[in-house]
Amino acid sequence: MRVFQILLAIAILSSSTVFAQEPPPAKVVTAKITQNEISENQSFIGLLYYDRTSHVSSEVSGLVEAVEVNEGDQVKKGAPLVRLNTEILEKDITLKKTRIEQIELRIRNAEKNYKRLESLYAKDGVSEKDFDDALFTFQDALMEKQAAENELEKLHIQKRKSVIKAPFDSVVLEKNVDSGDWVQQGKQLVAIGSINDLFVKVPVAETVLQFISIGDKVPVVVNAFNKELTGTIDDLDPTADEKTKNVFLKVRIPTLVKVAENMSATVYVSTSGKKQLGIIPRDALVKFQGKDFVYTVKEGKAAILPVNIVTYLGNTIGADNPYFVAGMDVVVEGNERLRPDQPVIVAGEK
């Protein structure tokens, strides 16, 4: 019995050692590497800005009744920004309408008198002067009505202009007035930036220009949110930095909510000609001590390989390591808990 207990203890100890040395098999999902001719790219830090801005001003003078927006608000084209008080203006409109009604009474009376004298003049019943005076009085009344109607239309325009509206879809960058302020014609009320013209201004070395073209799609990461977007190289500034010789690219990006001018963004720009690269899904990447690795499957076990990333391609990356060949399997699910040489069971392939 004593010998049996010793043998059992040795067996249990040996079994525990085996399990401690070799982790249990892990279920993983793999994907295949492809190859393609891709340019290397490099990250550059740029600043967000609105390429189209407007300092919205008032076309009429008046007392600010309400400011409908705050800094940072997004507004649609035609949305009210500032309202001026129109109480006095509405009284002027009412008075002008009454004045037009008075003139219409005079017109009817002048027209009657003119037609009566016209009939008498045809029969030599009145002098030519009396007939001319009646005609001129009638015509003068018509012109006076036209002038009053023009003045009424001007008042209506002033009333419409008392509501200052957004000229395009925009975000409010600056507010310069508040309720109770008196504004003169031409005073700047708010500054706005077009939400459809959001750009990143990014400095690159002049030697990079040979590898890029206007219209190229480039990855952009808005650093504040760690949000990745696809930008388009729209143009470049015509003046390079005098000291560094850097050229500023203008990269258009999609509309974002709650961003501020001068926030930073990382732009990946081509810095070489095309070369054959291994295209690897980004889900396959794992970090270890600040460096990038992938797991592949070799003889039923996980094998770890370092990755030298030379370009970012949205959901994939390009690597120039020579051992990455087309058709090679890499682990894209379950890799975060893998260990080198751990047995694996491939549960599927993406």
The number of domains in the chain is 4
Q: What is the mean pLDDT of residues 212-228?
A: 92
pLDDT band at 19 (very low <50, low <70, confident <90, very high): very low
For residues 122 and 114, is the Cβ–Cβ distance under 8 A? no
Of 271, 286, 319, which residue sits at a domain end?
A: 271
pTM to 2 decimals?
Answer: 0.69
The CA distance from 234 to 291, in Å, is: 34
Residues 182 and 284 in one domain: no
Residue pLDDT, tens place only, 52-85: 999 999 999 999 999 999 999 999 999 999 999 9
| Buried b or exposed e, range 200-225, using 16+ CB within 10 angstroms | bbbbbeeebeebbeeebebbbbbeee
Domain contains 115? yes
Residues 63 and 174 in one domain: yes
Of 161, 186, 204, which residue sits at a domain end?
A: 161
Q: What's the Cα-to-Cα distance from 91 to each of 59, 60, 154, 160, 341, rounded to whole Å?
A: 20, 17, 14, 15, 88
Long-range CB pairs of 228-233 (<8 Å, 24+ gap) are 228/314, 229/253, 229/254, 230/254, 230/314, 231/200, 231/267
Of 247, 271, 295, which residue sits at a domain end?
A: 271
pLDDT at 3 over 90: no
Domain CATH number, residue 216? 2.40.30.170
pLDDT at 21 over 80: no
pLDDT at 14 over 70: no
Domain contains 236? yes
Q: Please name the residue that has the structure tokens 């040996």.
A: 14
Residue pLDDT, tens place only, 94-105: 999 999 999 999
- Residue range(s) defining the domain that contains residue 127: 87-161
